[in-house]
Amino acid sequence: MSLLDYVFGTVHAEEEPEAEEPEAEEEEEEEEEELEDPVDAVREGCASHCTKYKAELEKCEARVSSRSNTEETCVQELFDFLHCVDHCVSQKLFKQLK
């Protein structure tokens, strides 16, 4: 798993077993809607906007994974990429709020 997949990966919550009746669970499942976070779509678009930083991060990841004994961690490249993405996301989302 690459560092980008780790940061922008999909998170799934585990459901805890409940002691409700099966009929009541079926009714609740029909009523609940899956809400989508608009940030996810904007973040993916902004990730493609920051290709320069993404390329630097991928180059650093390849360099680090090719060496067996290194102290390099690519943290600065990751921060630069995330800063670019966050800057792009904030501009687009705050326009929707106004």
What digits encode the pLDDT tens for the residues 12-25? 566 655 555 556 55
Most confident of 34-38, 42-46, 72-76: 72-76
Which pLDDT belongs to residue 83? Answer: 96
Q: How far apart are CA 6 and CA 74, in angstroms?
A: 14
Q: How far apart are CA 37 and CA 75, in angstroms?
A: 27
The CATH class, in words, for 38-98 is mainly alpha
Q: Tokens representing 39? A: 């940030």
Residue range 65-97, pLDDT digits in tens: 999 888 989 999 999 999 999 999 998 888 877
Q: Tokens representing 78? A: 């990751």
Q: Where are the domains of the chain?
A: 38-98
Give the amino acid at 90: S
Predicted TM-score of the model (pTM): 0.61
- 7-16, 52-61, 82-91: least confidently modelled range: 7-16
pLDDT surpasses 60 at 30: yes
Three-point CA angle 14, 12, 38, nearest 5°: 135
Residue 74 φ/ψ region, left for φ over 0, alpha for ψ in the -120 to 50 degree band, beta for the rest = left
Which pLDDT belongs to residue 84? Answer: 95
- Dihedral sign (CA 59, 41, 84, 11): negative
Q: How far, rounded to the nearest angstrom, does the alpha carbon of residue 15 sit from its chain's CA centroid?
A: 21
